Amino acid sequence: MFLRVHLAPEMHRPVHVHFILKPDHAVCEASGKVAWCAPHGSGVVFDDINDTFAQFVDQLATAAKSINEEPKRKLLDRLLGEADVAIE
């Protein structure tokens, strides 16, 4: 997963992502490590994800294949606020 961050963390730093989906306030959580760094963000490889996060990513991957932008927007509109990302 690519995360847009202002300060690029060091390679292999632990990362924890937490966000909530509406309307049911389902919690998505994942932990992993920084796999690569770029000027505007970092790539994270997750090794521990909860079922809600896995389902959301699968739905996002399916929506991304659509020519129509509407499925992508509807899915991303489920995010409640901003994601909380902790880079240790």
Say what the pLDDT of residue 68 is. Answer: 80
| DSSP single-letter state for residue 70 | H
Residue 34: both structure tokens together? 């920084």
Say what the pLDDT of residue 3 is. Answer: 80
> What pTM, to 2 d.p., does this model score?
0.74
Domains of the chain, residue spans: 2-87
Say what the pLDDT of residue 69 is. Answer: 83
Say what the pLDDT of residue 76 is. Answer: 79
d(CA 13, CA 29): 17
76: left (phi over 0), alpha (psi -120 to 50) or beta: alpha
Structure-token match 């847009």, residue found: 4
Say what the pLDDT of residue 54 is. Answer: 95
Full pLDDT tens readout for the chain, 88 residues: 888 777 767 899 999 989 888 888 899 999 999 999 988 888 999 999 999 999 988 988 888 887 788 887 788 787 766 666 666 5
Residue 16: both structure tokens together? 């924890």
H/E stretch holding 37 reads: strand 26-38
Other C-beta atoms lying within 10 Å of the C-beta of residue 50: 15
